[in-house]
Amino acid sequence: MATEMKIRRMSDVQLREVAWLWKPYIPFGKITIIQGDPGEGKTTLALRVAAACSTGTALPGMEACAPFDVIYQTAEDGLGDTVKPRLIEAGADESRILNIVEDNKSLSLLDERIEKAIVQTGARLMILDPMQGYLGDKIDMNRANEIRKVLKNVAAVAERTGCAIVLVGHLNKASGMSSAYRGLGSIDFRAAARSVLLVGRLRKEPSVRVIVHDKSSLAPEGKSMAFNLGNDAGFYWIDGYEDISSEDILSGFGITAETKTAQAEELIRSALADGNEIPCDEIFRTAERKQISRRTVNEAKKNIPEIVTKKVGAKWMWSIQK
In a shared domain, residues 112 and 22:
yes
Question: Where a domain ends, among 215, 250, 285?
Answer: 250
In a shared domain, residues 241 and 217:
yes
**Could you tell me the residue range of the domain that residue 200 belongs to?**
18-250
Please report the pLDDT score of residue 268 as a whole number: 87
Domain for residue 11, yes or no? no
- Distance of alpha carbon 22 from alpha carbon 29, whole angstroms: 12
Please report the pLDDT score of residue 177 as a whole number: 56
3-state secondary structure at position 309 = strand
Domain for residue 187, yes or no? yes
CA 291 to chain centre: 19
DSSP bridge pairs for 308: 319
- Distance of alpha carbon 169 from alpha carbon 128, whole angstroms: 9
- Segment-wise mean pLDDT, segments of 10 residues, the chain, 322 residues: 86 93 98 93 97 98 96 93 96 98 91 97 97 86 85 96 96 64 76 94 86 96 94 91 83 57 82 80 84 84 86 86 70
Cis peptide bond prior to 130, omega within 30° of 0:
yes
Give this prediction's pTM: 0.77
- Distance of alpha carbon 291 from alpha carbon 224, whole angstroms: 12
Q: 214, 196 in Cβ contact below 8 A?
A: yes
Domain for residue 238, yes or no? yes
Compute φ and ψ for 114, nearest 5 degrees: -60, -55
Domain for residue 120, yes or no? yes
- Distance of alpha carbon 200 from alpha carbon 98, whole angstroms: 27
In a shared domain, residues 240 and 125:
yes
Q: 223, 211 in Cβ contact below 8 A?
A: no
Please report the pLDDT score of residue 254 as a whole number: 47
- Distance of alpha carbon 55 from alpha carbon 68, whole angstroms: 7
Domain for residue 24, yes or no? yes
Cis peptide bond prior to 27, omega within 30° of 0:
no
In a shared domain, residues 292 and 197:
no
Structural domain count of the chain = 2
Please report the pLDDT score of residue 89 as a whole number: 96
Please report the pLDDT score of residue 1 as a whole number: 64
